[in-house]
Amino acid sequence: MNRGVRIIKELSRREIVRETLHAIAGSPCRCPAHSSGILNSSIPPRHRQTSSDSITTDYAYETFSPSVRIGKGATREVGMDFVNKGVKRVLLFTDKNLIKLLPFKATADALRADNVEFDVFSEVRIEPTEKSFREAIHRAQMRQYEGFLAVGGGSVMDTAKVARLFDAYPEKDFFDFVNKPVGKGEPIFKQLKPLICIPTTSGTGSETTGVAICQMESINAKTGFSNRALCANLAIVDPLNALSMPKNVAIYSGFDVLCHALESFTNIRYDNRSPKPLNPLHRPQHQGANPISDIWAVETLKIINDNFLGSIESLFDQESSAQMSFASLLAGIGFSSSGVHLCHAISFALSGSVKDYCPSDYSNDHPIIPHGLSVVMTAPAVFKEVALVAPDRCIQLAGLIGANTNNIKTEDAGRCLSDQLCKIMNRLEIPNGLKSLGFSPEDIPMLVEKTLPQERITRLYPNKVTSSLLERILLNSMTVYN
Ligand SMILES: NC(=O)c1ccc[n+]([C@@H]2O[C@H](COP(=O)([O-])OP(=O)(O)OC[C@H]3O[C@@H](n4cnc5c(N)ncnc54)[C@H](O)[C@@H]3O)[C@@H](O)[C@H]2O)c1
Ligand SMILES: [Fe+2]
């Protein structure tokens, strides 16, 4: 038996033993009952007796994703897609940078070729806010559209998702659908009009998810909308659209993909999560790591390992860039069912507390910490902590992103994964820690306070999330490498 097969068998054996012990001991309640709209549905539960009724943790998981079309040049089909859906008038969302570039031009040409009438909303804010979401909602309600189209990165796609939601619910208040506890997290029952997403970054995977994120001015942190109903009807992943990404956009969105996969793979397992829903409608969108999300995460990391550096460092390496578009999609499909954990939860506090950081390659009309940058900043410290409870998984992850894991002991798992992350961050010249984004140790209590309510995400961390855990991670992230 070769070493690789032996390691995989050993890992599976250890996981089975751990899970059996866990099931015998009963697991702590990590109640997700205050999260997504679906979970908090007012539909009365219908409970059927099953053999697993005495166990309080979940026993099943559910995956979903939109139709996905992948192909160089596939943008040209989008006019036909709307015609095929019987849609003749759409509102096209993009941003004021992209409207000048090829992805927008290719889309507009495709719509014109098939006589699909369209208006353009190019005022999408990069890293959207409650205010910018409201402006987009207002614009969508000014005219009757039959469908919606997003051409852009996560900022554009998330904005289109929310505008389309309130097109169906003009009578509702913005906070009716915002995640609890900031909003009411109400369920979405109406059929929304068709939405097609054409991503232009290789990062968020928003084209596959039922999530839309914005900066909430009222709490100075990010949160948003999370409900499967928000998911697009079709994602067109055309690698040609990502070729014009500026260097920092490609780097930071690539780190977003990397963290989606790392966090998805190390989430609490779906069958360690409580409570087991009494009605499948109440099973949350993000259910923890599961065998299907694991497949997407592992594949994503293999692609990243082979292509991330090449896609950045070798200009005109179209094949690596196309592979990164694919990785972004795979990671998105994976975390759509499993979710993400602490790097993302903390990133929402960091981005929401930006001081005067204005990265190059982003539209510089307001300070922002780009999403992928805010996420990866704490990753080395987060995974040192994760390794204390999931060392085998962390060793596997370190190997997948290029570390030599021969003879790595369990107690060195965190250091191994963290060092490998720092190596990649250093090579791509990521700013060195939270200090370089303008934060100091005095900001830690404020950042902890803003992270703790992100319960929708923190509950997926594989261990209890405490203030002292967050303080340690933030302190260790002030400077990332020497
Ligand atoms: N819905 C989800 O599941 C999800 C997941 C992760 C992140 N997000 C959100 O997505 C947002 C970040 O999105 P993003 O990282 O994709 O970037 P973005 O949409 O914020 O765009 C970043 C910059 O890159 C430019 N750009 C994008 N594509 C380009 C291209 N092909 N050529 C030239 N310039 C291009 C934009 O004009 C902008 O200046 C954040 O608000 C984040 O919270 C959403
Ligand atoms: Fe992300």
Model confidence pLDDT, tens digit, residues 78-124? 999 999 999 999 999 999 999 999 999 999 999 999 999 999 999 99
Nearest ligand (C-alpha, residue 224) = 1
Going by alpha carbons, the residue nearest to atom 30 of ligand 1 is 245
- Give φ, ψ of 195 to 5 degrees: -130, 130
Tell me the best of 201, 285, 362 to mutate to test the pocket of ligand 1, counting ligand atoms within 8 Å of each CB and taking the most: 201
Query: If you measure from the C-alpha of residue 200 to the centroid of ligand 2, how many angstroms do you get, rounded to a whole number?
Result: 15
For the CA of 244, the closest atom of ligand 1 is 32
For the CA of 208, the closest atom of ligand 1 is 3
Going by alpha carbons, the residue nearest to atom 9 of ligand 1 is 154
For the CA of 126, the closest atom of ligand 1 is 20
Tell me the best of 36, 99, 101, 126 to mutate to test the pocket of ligand 1, counting ligand atoms within 8 Å of each CB and taking the most: 126
- For the chain, which residues score pLDDT lower than 50? 1-51
Query: If you measure from the C-alpha of residue 335 to the centroid of ligand 2, how many angstroms do you get, rounded to a whole number?
Result: 10
Query: If you measure from the C-alpha of residue 199 to the centroid of ligand 1, how many angstroms do you get, rounded to a whole number?
Result: 9
Going by alpha carbons, the residue nearest to atom 26 of ligand 1 is 245
pLDDT number for residue 29? 36
pLDDT number for residue 52? 52
| Ion ligand 2: residues, CB < 5 A | 256
pLDDT number for residue 455? 86
pLDDT number for residue 48? 39
**CA distances in angstroms from 340 to 126, 307, 435, 474, listed in the order given:** 22, 23, 24, 18
Going by alpha carbons, the residue nearest to atom 29 of ligand 1 is 245
Query: If you measure from the C-alpha of residue 332 to the centroid of ligand 2, how many angstroms do you get, rounded to a whole number?
Result: 9
Query: If you measure from the C-alpha of residue 371 to the centroid of ligand 2, how many angstroms do you get, rounded to a whole number?
Result: 7
Going by alpha carbons, the residue nearest to atom 38 of ligand 1 is 362
pLDDT number for residue 220? 77
- Ligand 1 neighbours, Cβ below 6 Å, are 95, 97-98, 101, 103, 126-128, 152-156, 158, 200-201, 203-206, 209, 211-213, 241-242, 244-246, 249, 253, 256, 362-363, 371-372
Tell me the best of 36, 72, 97 to mutate to test the pocket of ligand 1, counting ligand atoms within 8 Å of each CB and taking the most: 97
pLDDT number for residue 408? 96
Query: If you measure from the C-alpha of residue 154 to the centroid of ligand 1, how many angstroms do you get, rounded to a whole number?
Result: 4
Query: If you measure from the C-alpha of residue 391 to the centroid of ligand 1, how many angstroms do you get, rounded to a whole number?
Result: 32
Query: If you measure from the C-alpha of residue 152 to the centroid of ligand 1, how many angstroms do you get, rounded to a whole number?
Result: 7
Query: If you measure from the C-alpha of residue 144 to the centroid of ligand 1, how many angstroms do you get, rounded to a whole number?
Result: 27
Query: If you measure from the C-alpha of residue 249 to the centroid of ligand 1, how many angstroms do you get, rounded to a whole number?
Result: 8
